């Protein structure tokens, strides 16, 4: 009898996003949240916790990495450093 696996995300303080910290086993969401508090925030590392059933995470595949992320590869003009700025001008 194995409990479902949950992924744990912790917001370390107000103003920052939740960050993945690890996983744990728990029979339900309520227990997962309680366990996450004890396992991942024993030293006040968080002000908010998310737990998500691991089975619900949909991930991109490392093997598709190239074709998946390729479209952004040939678009350097999306970065400000692509453009020449005349010497001496500011506020550009």
Residues of this chain, 53-82, that bind another protein according to CB under 8 A = 59, 61-64, 67
CA 92/CA 80 separation, integer angstroms:
10
Q: How many residues bind another protein (CB under 8 A)?
A: 25
- Residue 24 as a binder of another protein (CB under 8 A): the answer is yes
Shortest Å, Cβ 87 to another protein = 37
Q: What residue ranges bind another protein (CB under 8 A)?
A: 1-3, 5, 21-31, 38-39, 42-43, 59, 61-64, 67
């Amino acid at each position: 009898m194995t409990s479902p696996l949950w992924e744990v995300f912790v917001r370390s303080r107000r103003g920052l996003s939740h960050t993945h910290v690890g996983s744990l086993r728990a029979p339900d969401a309520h227990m997962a949240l309680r366990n996450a508090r004890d396992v991942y925030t024993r030293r006040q590392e968080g002000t908010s916790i998310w737990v998500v059933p691991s089975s619900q995470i949909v991930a991109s595949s490392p093997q598709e990495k190239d074709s998946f992320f390729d479209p952004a590869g040939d678009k350097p003009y999306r970065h400000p450093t692509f453009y020449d700025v005349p010497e001496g001008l500011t506020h550009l």
